[in-house]
Structure 1
């Protein structure tokens, strides 16, 4: 689907460039933006390597176990069907921690691992349980304490203060996570235990 979207945008850009007689500007922009894309990819890769390494250190040093104990009350409130020391609960904790740190790309493999663990304990294979739906909501509307990816993008774009967006990020992500959790809980009650 995305390949069709990008192909369509490329074809439309070329078409409008030809129709408006601005093919020279289209060519110059294409070359400039290719180098900008490579530079941005390298900067983002550096940030992701740093934070992924720190997350691995946290896992090996049992910081994740400590975070698991810290988040246990929240986990019991949101995922009350899950045993606190289960593999699924630990994977969810790691995923939520990565999201709290604004590491969307690092959170993705952790979210996939959490989904696999939830699938293992689900009584109905191939159908999303309420816990799986809630995990998707928590990932999509994640609360971010430190938006590292956004800060890296702002820094790459030349921002003098890439973290000045923190209050806005905290407010927006708090509201989105709250409304997402309320909606997930509402719909899980509305449609009953059919998905469990």
Structure 2
């Protein structure tokens, strides 16, 4: 669906440019956008390598495990339908810890593995479980202590103070996370109320024969 939307945007842009006789502007913008993308990627490499190294040090020093232990009760509350010893819990904790440190690239593979493990608990493989929806909501609106990627982009474009967004980003992600948790709890309660009770079959009476 997303690919179709982007394709529609591209075709609409080309259509309007052709109608106004500015097709050369679209071509120049495409090449300029590609050039900017490559420049930004090269600028992000050093920052991402640095923070991924910090993440590895945090893992080796036990910091990530410490954060995971602190978040354990919270994750247990957010994912009540996932067994505590299930492998998905470990990946969920790692995903949330990486998001807290602003390492979206490191959090993504953990989130994918968590989804794969949650799929093993899914009785209907064609429908997402509540736990999957919760993980997606939290991963999208995760609280971020250090917005590493945004700082790197601002630094790459010559910002005088690239880290000044830390406070506003923390506040925005806290509000987004609380909203995501609130919506998730509301939908869970709604789904629970509308779930029909299980049908219990009445056992057949036991017949006895007279002696």
Is the contact between residue 47 and residue 152 of structure 2 (CA under 8 Å) also seen in structure 1? Answer: yes
2:116 aligned with 1:79 = no
Alpha-carbon deviations, 1:69-116, whole Å to 9, x = none?
121232233224445454222211110011112222321111111112
> What do residues 40-83 of structure 1 show as CA deviations (whole Å, max 9, x unaligned)?
12223443333334334434444332222121232233224445
Cα 1:82/1:165, change in 2 over 3 Å: same
- Does 2:89 match 1:89? yes
Using the size of structure 1 for normalisation, the TM-score is 0.81
> Does 1:131 find its partner at 2:131?
yes
Distance 1:55 1:14 in 2: 43
Q: How far apart, in 1, do the equivalents of 2:174 and 2:26 lie?
A: 41
Q: In structure 2, list runs of 5 or more residues that go unmatched.
A: 196-211
Query: Separation in 2 of the partners of 1:62 and 1:87?
Result: 19
Tell me whether 133-142 or 70-79 shows the greater mean CA deviation.
Answer: 70-79
* 2: CA distance, partners of 1:3 / 1:131: 26
User: 1:58 — aligned with what?
Assistant: 58
**TM-score calculated relative to the size of structure 2:** 0.76
SS of alignment partner, residue 192 of structure 2? coil
> Does residue 111 of the first structure (1) align with residue 119 of the second (2)?
no
CA distance, structure 2, for counterparts of residue 43 and residue 73 of structure 1:
38
Structure 1: segments with no counterpart, 5+ residues: none
What secondary structure sits across from 2:163 in the alignment?
coil
Is 2:138 the counterpart of 1:151? no
